[in-house]
Structure 1
Amino acid sequence: MRPFVDRSEELKALKERLTSNNFELIVIYGRRRVGKTRLVLEAVRGLPHVYYLAVEGDNLRHFRETAERVFPEVRYSREDWEGTLHALKGKIIVIDEFPNLIKENPQVLSLFQRAIDIDLSDSGTKMILLGSSVSMMTEKVLSYKSPLYGRRTGSMKLKPMGFFSIKEFFPEASWEELVEVYGMTDGIPFYITQVRLPFWEWLEKELSSPVSFFRDEVDFLLRYEFSEVSTYKRILEAIALGRTTPREIRDFTGLRHSDISPYLRNLIEADLVVREVPVTSKRTSKKGRYYVADNFLAFWFRFIFPNLSRIEDGTFSVEEIRGSYSHYLGWVFEKVARQFLVELNRAEKLPFRFTKAGKWWHKDMEIDLVALNEREKKALFVEVKWKSLSEREARGILKDLEGKGELVGVEGWEKYYGLVAKKVRGKEELGEGGFLVWDLEDFESFI
């Protein structure tokens, strides 16, 4: 098992709750493979606890058998959920994939509520419920309609790790190779730990392997959320291939606008798709665009899904991915650059502290990143390029950026202009001209 990486804040918060004298009901949820189980097992390491992974049926019996191995006194308790939980009063109870209990018996929510209210709430019991179905955890466990509403003492939505955490997995890798890895794995621990360097050699072997996780991974992921997945796959493919507006998605899929709307809402609720609006617009703006939420899904629908048959019969070459990967990484590198700016902002290494950041677009004009401080009326405009640039090329991009910045609607504000690229020659000269310029070398010095 690889060493536990990152998640230091989440781990510290969990350990504090586990060592308190109070009753704790902690809900942890997030997409499959994001590292929920590993985080909790790290938190309870060295502490007596029951860890149970819920299955599709007969969960009470399986749970009791698991609990008895750790706490033998459970075998003398009443053989129902309330009796079993009473026997575990004061203990640490971890139930993974809690939605499986709900699917088997929806009344389990009320049974847990009763056990907490009558028996556990005045004790030092620690109960942690985990779930990979984001929509079910949100609706059935966290919503005000849930019997458990008001009982939880904490909740955590676990998201993929940031780009810079990948360096801890591959300390010897170059930043360029780390961006390539991130383009496939995002910050999702399971995918990161599958990769071996050199990346392209590993990917070629993985795609030719008869037991590659690429084949069934996305179907498995989607079935955690949806009973029928074909339409969702079609919509995700459209978005991954650059169809980001409702009209473009509709035209690609052949569905009517009214038909795709509920699918898009469900994909957003399941954290598989995000909707963005220009950073200066309200969330209700009709300019919204849709993006696949993580790089693994984008990679899979762009490169794997259209070629599954050829991968199966051995006629697909990884060079076909490699040939267009730099173009694909343009979008990925925007995400990396945004995280880099957030880190610079946190370290107060920018001309001002921004309070919001995002993309901006209007008609055919677009700026990759706009960071704003609305109170101080300051704005930073940044273009992101996954390529090596000469000083002349970089200066031309920055001059164009100055023109686009005048269209954003922040007249009278103090404006700054920046560039993040793979490599920029003449950074110092550009900096002396008042521009902010970074490339992969700055990642190393920053970290």
Structure 2
Amino acid sequence: MEKLIGREQEKNILIDALISNEAELVAVYGRRRVGKTFLIRQAYSQHLICEFSGVHHASVQEQLENFRNAIALVLKSPIPPAVPKSWTEAFLLLINFAEPLLKRKKVVIFFDEFPWLGAPKSGFLSAFEYFWNSWGSKKSNLIVAICGSAASWMIQKIINNKGGLHNRITKRIRLLPFSLYETSTYLKSRLVNLDQYQILQLYMVLGGIPHYLKEIRKGESATQIIDRLCFTKDGLLVDEFYNLYHSLFEMADRHIAVVKALAGKPSGLTRKEIIEECDLISGGGTTKLIEELMESGFVQFYLPFQKNVKEAIYKLADEYSLFYLKFIEQSRATGHGTWMKKSVSQSWRSWSGAAFESICFKHINQIKNAIGISGIYTEESAWRFVPGKIGNGTQIDLLVDRQDVCINICEIKFSNSEFIIDKPYAVALQDKMNIFKEQTKTKKTLFLTMVTTYGTKDNIYKTGLVQNEVLMEDLFKL
């Protein structure tokens, strides 16, 4: 059986449920392909007595037939039970099966793709509420684990349920993609021997999604892997984009429109700008749409320095989506060698900078550790200034506002060698610091911090200007 890599905090939560003296209702949610099912199966392999998965867009009758088949498999009866006529009857079948086992040991019942079971008018959610409240919650030896890729549905219908499941979830896990450290550890466990720069390039395309990383073969370079997965006719990621969004959202075209708008603006968009770009109507529907993308991990929200929530910036956070829209969707070139040609283009340079910047935002803790401020409370954001008819505008990739009255102004640069600050760039960096200080009126001390792959070359322009450095290797630390 494949070993579970990383996920230490999540494993501890699931183990706590195992040693609990009370019934536990555990909810695990996160974007598709992130490893939710694998996590639950691995953590509860010795206690799992029944596993049932919902099917996307299946009828109630089909779901009930599948449920009966799942019960028949674990019963190992030559004559399967009758197909339940309703979910209420299905849960009674489950109770009769589980009751004797609960008297002997701790048991886990696992419902995978839970949102696909709870379609309108299916009766599933009300039946599940009754099942848990009238029976499950009273069984100290029972864990019911529910899992779903439609993260927004899980939040609205389960976590924040206002009806029979209100405050019934005892433990919840939002499963995020692997970090760079976990990605490196996972690849090593599969005997894939790549250095950090190669892994970083893959992460910029695949993100930390275990299902995608599983397709990496040993003995191939990052370029070969990207070619095979993204530019050959049978590549896993050639047509994953639309399948991904349509499997998660009922009105996926609107979600895709927002994702495409954000992909075209690496510096991000405000809510107002999203509405204008996508021709949406301001109101609760748009708010829900953006929240769904955020809860599913595709979009991140940043509050700019000294700004209020109305001026919040939204950025595309999913590496694969950004790569697909930039290079795969409109690509005429396919086949081996495609990525080698594309990776020397100008569009590659702009994409790599945006992708590396997004990864740095996800590894804030590693950046703080590298510059020695892990114990200081901070708030992170980006910052941009757009002047009127006169004056220069500027943008700060990452700003770390510290409680000790200092701010790290982070300049993020992706390159395949030491980054060199020349005279014009040094002047631009100093101007950036001056504009920020002038426009924000901040009294805090500013530290210019370079975040690069291989560091910044020592020269007269770096000395006295750069106060801190963060390297690629720092991002790979735990």
TM-score class normalised by the smaller sequence: 0.7 to 0.9
The whole-number CA distance in structure 2 between the counterparts of 1:50 and 1:427 is 64
Larger CA deviation: 181-190 vs 103-112? 103-112
Unaligned runs of 5+ in 2: 387-392
Q: 1:293 to 1:440 in 2, by over 3 A?
A: closer
Q: Residue in 2 aligned with 1:117?
A: 133
The whole-number CA distance in structure 2 between the counterparts of 1:267 and 1:382 is 27
**Offset, 1:204:** 2.1
Kindly report which structure 2 residues correspond to 1:185-200, keeping only aligned pairs within 5 A, or say none. Answer: 185-196=206-217, 197-200=220-223
Larger CA deviation: 270-279 vs 426-435? 426-435
Between the two structures, name the one with larger relative contact order (CA 8 Å, sep ≥ 6): 2
Q: 1:12 to 1:316 in 2, by over 3 A?
A: same
Q: 1:207 to 1:77 in 2, by over 3 A?
A: closer
Alignment root-mean-square deviation, CA: 3.4
Q: Is the 8 A contact 1:110 1:148 kept in 2?
A: no
Describe the SS at the equivalent of 1:26.
Answer: strand
Q: If the length of structure 2 is used for normalisation, what is the TM-score?
A: 0.80
Q: 1:12 to 1:215 in 2, by over 3 A?
A: same
**Offset, 1:211:** 2.4
| 1:368 paired residue among 397, 410, 433 | 397
Structure 1: which amino acid aligns with 2:352? Answer: L
**Offset, 1:391:** 5.2
Larger CA deviation: 159-168 vs 19-28? 159-168
Q: Is the 8 A contact 1:185 1:295 kept in 2?
A: yes
Structure 2: which amino acid aligns with 1:368? Answer: D
Q: Residue in 2 aligned with 1:241?
A: 264
Q: Residue in 2 aligned with 1:43?
A: 43
Structure 2 residue 405 is the aligned partner of structure 1 residue 377:
yes
Q: 1:252 to 1:317 in 2, by over 3 A?
A: farther
Q: Deviations 1:88-139 (Å, cap 9, x if unpaired)?
A: 2433100100112112754211111112222221212110111111222222
Structure 1: which amino acid aligns with 2:237? Answer: F
**Offset, 1:212:** 2.1
The whole-number CA distance in structure 1 between the counterparts of 2:133 and 2:90 is 14
Structure 2 residue 147 is the aligned partner of structure 1 residue 130:
yes
Q: Is the 8 A contact 1:223 1:229 kept in 2?
A: yes
**Offset, 1:265:** 4.1
Kindly report which structure 2 residues correspond to 1:122-201, keeping only aligned pairs within 5 A, or say none. Answer: 122-123=138-139, 124-171=141-188, 172-196=193-217, 197-201=220-224
Describe the SS at the equivalent of 1:103.
Answer: coil
Q: 1:199 to 1:140 in 2, by over 3 A?
A: same
**Offset, 1:199:** 1.4
The whole-number CA distance in structure 1 between the counterparts of 2:54 and 2:374 is 51
Structure 2 residue 433 is the aligned partner of structure 1 residue 402:
yes
Q: Residue in 1 aligned with 2:116?
A: 100
Q: 1:173 to 1:398 in 2, by over 3 A?
A: farther
Q: Residue in 1 aligned with 2:420?
A: 390
Unaligned runs of 5+ in 1: none
**Offset, 1:419:** 1.0
Q: 1:409 to 1:337 in 2, by over 3 A?
A: same
Q: 1:206 to 1:121 in 2, by over 3 A?
A: closer
Describe the SS at the equivalent of 2:453.
Answer: strand
Describe the SS at the equivalent of 1:258.
Answer: coil
Kindly report which structure 2 residues correspond to 1:74-89, keeping only aligned pairs within 5 A, or say none. Answer: 79=84, 80-87=89-96, 88-89=98-99
Q: Deviations 1:329-373 (Å, cap 9, x if unpaired)?
A: 111222333344412535882397232112122223211111123
Q: Is the 8 A contact 1:204 1:318 kept in 2?
A: yes
Kindly report which structure 2 residues correspond to 1:221-300, keeping only aligned pairs within 5 A, or say none. Answer: 221-242=244-265, 244-245=268-269, 255=279, 257-258=280-281, 262-263=285-286, 265-271=288-294, 272-285=298-311, 288-300=312-324
Larger CA deviation: 428-437 vs 26-35? 428-437
The whole-number CA distance in structure 2 between the counterparts of 1:340 and 1:135 is 24
Q: Is the 8 A contact 2:449 2:466 kept in 1?
A: no
Q: 1:301 to 1:208 in 2, by over 3 A?
A: closer
Q: Is the 8 A contact 2:368 2:374 kept in 1?
A: no
The whole-number CA distance in structure 2 between the counterparts of 1:195 and 1:11 is 25
**Offset, 1:301:** 1.4
**Offset, 1:66:** 1.8
Percent identity, aligned pairs only, is 20
The whole-number CA distance in structure 1 between the counterparts of 2:51 and 2:83 is 20
Q: Is the 8 A contact 1:78 1:84 kept in 2?
A: no
Structure 2: which amino acid aligns with 1:294? Answer: D
**Offset, 1:297:** 0.9
Larger CA deviation: 390-399 vs 137-146? 390-399
Q: 1:116 to 1:302 in 2, by over 3 A?
A: same
The whole-number CA distance in structure 2 between the counterparts of 1:2 and 1:428 is 52
The whole-number CA distance in structure 1 between the counterparts of 2:413 and 2:407 is 20
Q: 1:127 to 1:443 in 2, by over 3 A?
A: closer
**Offset, 1:377:** 2.4
Kindly report which structure 2 residues correspond to 1:307-346, keeping only aligned pairs within 5 A, or say none. Answer: 307=331, 310=332, 317-322=338-343, 323=345, 324-345=347-368
Q: How many residues align?
A: 438
The whole-number CA distance in structure 2 between the counterparts of 1:195 and 1:260 is 43
**Offset, 1:250:** 6.4
**Offset, 1:248:** 6.2
Q: 1:440 to 1:138 in 2, by over 3 A?
A: closer
Q: Residue in 1 aligned with 2:472?
A: 440
Describe the SS at the equivalent of 1:210.
Answer: coil
**Offset, 1:263:** 4.9
Describe the SS at the equivalent of 2:66.
Answer: helix
Structure 2: which amino acid aligns with 1:81? Answer: A
The whole-number CA distance in structure 2 between the counterparts of 1:114 and 1:231 is 35
